[in-house]
Amino acid sequence: MKHTLSSTLLGTFLLLTRPVVLGQEVLPNVILLCDQFWSYADGGLYCRNKPGTESCLGDLGDFPAERSFPWFAQLTDDLLLHLTEQTSSRNYITYRDSLYIDTSPGAFAPLRFTPDNSTLTGGETAWAWTTPAGFPFWTPTGRVADGTAGGDGAIIGQGFQVVDVEGHPGVRQAYWNQTKFEEMYAGREDGGLLTVCYGDYDPESITQGDSP
């Protein structure tokens, strides 16, 4: 599919429960609820514009995908953000697939998932995710401040962008723009955030799965 550049996602956040605020700490058995704004589909993250608004939501409508479901996630103590699927209310499968981006100079590529980090090449990385104030947030070191403008710790944006999917009006895919991230870090632009996630702090069950 061809894609065209769209505006940075700044949707209206739907408050589900309380936000996940981790900073440097990883809380065990917390499921991140990111499903209102994004769905997993065939290895990427997609959303669809809500008619008449600027909001991009996780309901993909009739978008063709072999495998798709609302996006949930689990941050593990090795700072990997694992793809998670809700099987029923308060019950989840966490897959070994983890979110990765391409941080090579000038890279502009979709967010993807990999079941095996050894397959990543060049500047591709699945490591060093955090969730300050509930935002999926990448840093080069694992320290939140090192992913903020000038290292000052203020969360204003990152390198996320949303791209229109050609042939599917209203459907958009999440991308990482390394230049945007570097411009944000240098204080020359605000950058873009992916979404805010809320937390299920007391799930009934979390099953470990292979790949979706």
Instruction: Inform me whether the pLDDT recorded for 5 exceeds 60.
Output: no
85 within some domain: yes
Q: What is the pLDDT of residues 60-79, one digit of tens each?
A: 999 999 999 999 999 999 99
The more confident residue out of 4 and 15 is 4
Mean pLDDT across 146-158: 92
The secondary structure of 18-29 as a DSSP string is PBP--TT---TT
- d(CA 157, CA 188) in angstroms, rounded, equals 12
Q: How confident is the model at residue 53 (pLDDT cuts 50, 70, 90)?
A: confident
As given in the structure block, the two tokens for residue 139 are 């840093």
Q: What is the pLDDT of residue 54?
A: 77
66 within some domain: yes
The residue to which tokens 């945007």 are assigned: 180
The residue to which tokens 């103590």 are assigned: 77
Q: What is the pLDDT of residue 106?
A: 98
4 contacts 172 by C-beta, under 8 angstroms: no
Q: What is the pLDDT of residue 20?
A: 43
112 contacts 100 by C-beta, under 8 angstroms: yes
Q: What is the pLDDT of residue 9?
A: 34
Q: How confident is the model at residue 27 (pLDDT cuts 50, 70, 90)?
A: low
Instruction: Inform me whether the pLDDT recorded for 7 exceeds 70.
Output: no
211 within some domain: no
- d(CA 97, CA 59) in angstroms, rounded, equals 22
Domains in the chain, number: 1
Q: What is the pLDDT of residue 40?
A: 98
Instruction: Inform me whether the pLDDT recorded for 25 exceeds 80.
Output: no
- d(CA 173, CA 47) in angstroms, rounded, equals 6
Q: What is the pLDDT of residue 158?
A: 96
56 within some domain: yes
Residue 25: is it exposed, middle or buried by C-beta count within 10 angstroms (0-12/13-18/19+)?
Answer: exposed
Q: What is the pLDDT of residue 3?
A: 42
96 contacts 115 by C-beta, under 8 angstroms: yes
70 within some domain: yes
As given in the structure block, the two tokens for residue 41 are 């589909």
Q: What is the pLDDT of residues 125-136, one digit of tens each?
A: 999 999 998 999
The mean predicted confidence, pLDDT, of the chain is 87
Q: What residues make up the domain containing 48?
A: 3-205
- d(CA 129, CA 137) in angstroms, rounded, equals 6
- d(CA 192, CA 51) in angstroms, rounded, equals 22
Mean pLDDT across 54-62: 90
The secondary structure of 124-185 as a DSSP string is EE---EE-GGG--EE-SSS-GGGGSGGGS-----BBEEEEEETTSTTEEEEEEEHHHHHHHH
210 within some domain: no
- d(CA 30, CA 44) in angstroms, rounded, equals 22
